[in-house]
A and B are shown apart, each in its own frame.
Chain A
Amino acid sequence: MSDTPAKASPRQPAQAQAADPVYWKPQSRIWYALAVISFLLALGANLLIPANLPGLQPGLDYSQDFPTDPTNYRILLAAVAVLLVLLFAVSHFWNPLRKRLLHKAQFIFAGGLALAVWDVLSSKLFIMRPPYFPGPVNLAAYVPTNWLGLLNHITASSQLFITGLVLGTVFGIGTGILIGWFRQWFYWLFPILKFTGVVPATAWMPLATVLLKPAPVAMTFLLVIASWFIISFMMAQGMESTPKALYEVSETLGASRRFLLLHVAIPNAMPSIFTGISTATAMSLLTLVAAEMMGATAGLGYFINYSKAFNKYYQVYAAIIIMFIVFSVLLAIINAIRNRALRWQKGLVQQ
């Protein structure tokens, strides 16, 4: 701090140099208190503002079972407020958590406000009207009471996604090794692979649903097609990028050609494989939802399409939020595997 320039630039105050580069937001308890208050405010808004204000026409959903019970929403808000307080108490014993909480305080505050605004605009003032714009009350009322049905769709989607990605990865790595190591395989297989890579997987959908029965088989096929090309391509490329010196030094250590493949080329391709898997994951999710919308009888994509057909847009919103949560978990698992496998790389090692 002593050698800080006397005239600090206005954008980067002198103290910024000492500040935490990760949790750079003000470590202020006031913001955290405001964050808790914002959720209490949302709760208060829902409790105190009447829904039947004079001169306003309530916007009812066309469907019979439009969930309007505010209890769940109120419990949720109260629970979040209590959780925030509890976390803060716990963080007294664990400084990293405290830093993180205080860093996120402004965002949490904004989140509480946004919920309050959304709630008032939809369920209270009917400016955002059903069926297209349900309020947080409707979503909170719907999800817990239909949890089992939703779980079926979540399971169906996850199963399909995992099967497709695992098979695609296995085939992708297999063909990647073949085309990356053997000229003959490259000559014959690569053009075919390229064909399946250039044509989007969804283009196969009509054919797949007709030719492959039952439906999950067709969908697994589409998911495999979606991930196969990119993974095998990245695998082959990763093997090709092996520095010549590594092959040469291995040979002077007594390595056979088999050893070069298994212990030099394939390990060298690991970062590349995971880049391929990340891309394949994104493409698989895209294909998954599109395929479920067209040809499935279960799954979150199917559920969205089904809900739309019955004008139950609150279900569409619920499905999208659930998708976010489920897919985030799946991506986090893939990332964890990747970080474990690539822990030898620069920057990933945190010790």
Chain B
Amino acid sequence: MSTEARNAGGNVVAPTDEGTCAEGAQAGPQADPRTVTDVAAGAVTDVTAGALIVVDGVSRIYPGETVDDSTHALDNVSLEVREGEFVSLIGPSGCGKTTLLRLIAGLDAPQSGSLEMAGQPITGPGADRGYIFQQGALYPWATVEANIATGLKARGVYKQQKHKIPQFIELVGLTGFEKAYPHQISGGMAQRVAIARALINEPRALLLDEPMGALDSFTRIELQDKLLSLWQDFGSTMVLVTHDVDEAIYLSDRIVIMTPRPGRISEIITVDSARPRARNSTGFLTLRSRILEKLHLVSERPEPEFAI
């Protein structure tokens, strides 16, 4: 329960662009535990450098029948994600969080603004940015093993690196299911296969689009812990799109709150308590109600009816 007090106040930073700048200073303390694990895993060498992902003034409009009909999925959005950072994008549907994630993945292109990954402009999808879909998107015709091997085959390094496959199966706790087909395993297992399939490529960033949205709450909590330990082991940068406020607080270094019509970043909140975080601590709950308020999901009026 040592985490309680820290979340209580002072986490909220000024909105949007300035927010990301101010963020840099605050993100410092969190880097420490991660640096230790990173050195141990030998994965990341350059934690102190600048942002890994830079989104600069990006707009994405989905054209409709008429001009009025078109959707401003993203309107002049800027965001920086540091190497090794865990960032969540949260907001109601239509706020453009998935669009932003797809732009970073290179699966979609913006009308204006620029996106950079490790100093290079993003022009299309690449193996340096793993992507996890809500439903796993496993190949139904391939076994767990073959699904995880896909990245190695696609990059032409299967022969040299196939020894990694059993390691990654073990890493996500699926030993014994190597030969199972996707329809034979549960949703939670499928997501773990998807994560292993992405991680075997050792991507610098892992982009997760509501990966736990379709899971029951027990499996969800289990997978959140798994994700956290994988992040600490691999040190890859995580960008998570989620609907779940608890999930965002439990996992993230920073939470990016977005609002719809047009899609904008309204606020960025730093979570600076140490992990693992207690879901029932006062700090956690205070932050939770703060975010819910921002998302207009709780009534702002006090409710005297319940007072006796």
Residue ranges of A at the interface with B (Cβ–Cβ < 8 Å): 243, 245-246, 248-256, 259, 263-264, 267-268, 270, 343-346, 349
Contacts and interface: CB of A to CB of B under 8 A. Distances in A.
Given A243-B137, A252-B126, A254-B127, 17 more contacts: A245-B137, A249-B133, A249-B137, A252-B107, A252-B127, A252-B207, A253-B130, A253-B155, A253-B197, A254-B155, A255-B154, A256-B154, A259-B154, A268-B141, A345-B140, A349-B181, A349-B184
A251 B107 contact: yes
B286 interface: no
Nearest to A262: B153
A269 to B, nearest CB: 10
Given A255-B154, A259-B154, A248 B139 contact: no
A340 to B, nearest CB: 13
How many B residues touch the partner, as a band?
A: 20 to 34
Given A252-B198, A254-B154, A259-B154, A267 B126 contact: no
B74 interface: no
A249 B131 contact: yes
Contacts of A243: 137
Q: Which of B107, B142, B207 has the most CB of A within 10 A?
A: B107
Contacts of A246: 137, 139
B125 A251 contact: yes
Contacts of A252: 105-107, 125-127, 129-131, 198, 207
Contact of B133 (A245, A256, A345, A349): A245
Contacts of B235: none
List the 5 closest A-B pairs by CB distance, nearest first.
A254-B127, A251-B125, A252-B131, A253-B151, A255-B154
B154 A344 contact: no
B133 A250 contact: no
B71 interface: no
Contact of B183 (A251, A254, A255, A346): A346
Contacts of A264: 139
A160 to B, nearest CB: 33
B22 to A, nearest CB: 31
Interface of B: 105-107, 124-127, 129-131, 133, 135, 137, 139-143, 150-151, 153-155, 181-184, 194, 197-198, 201, 207
Contacts of A267: 139, 141-142
B126 A270 contact: no
A258 to B, nearest CB: 10
A248 to B, nearest CB: 5
B11 to A, nearest CB: 32
Given A248-B131, A263-B153, A254 B141 contact: no
7 contacts: A248-B133, A249-B131, A249-B133, A251-B125, A252-B207, A263-B153, A267-B141
Contacts of B142: 267, 344
A196 to B, nearest CB: 30
B107 A253 contact: no
Contacts of A346: 183
A343 to B, nearest CB: 8
Nearest to A245: B137
A343 B143 CA distance: 11
Nearest to A253: B151
B115 to A, nearest CB: 15
Given A259-B154, A349-B184, A344 B127 contact: no
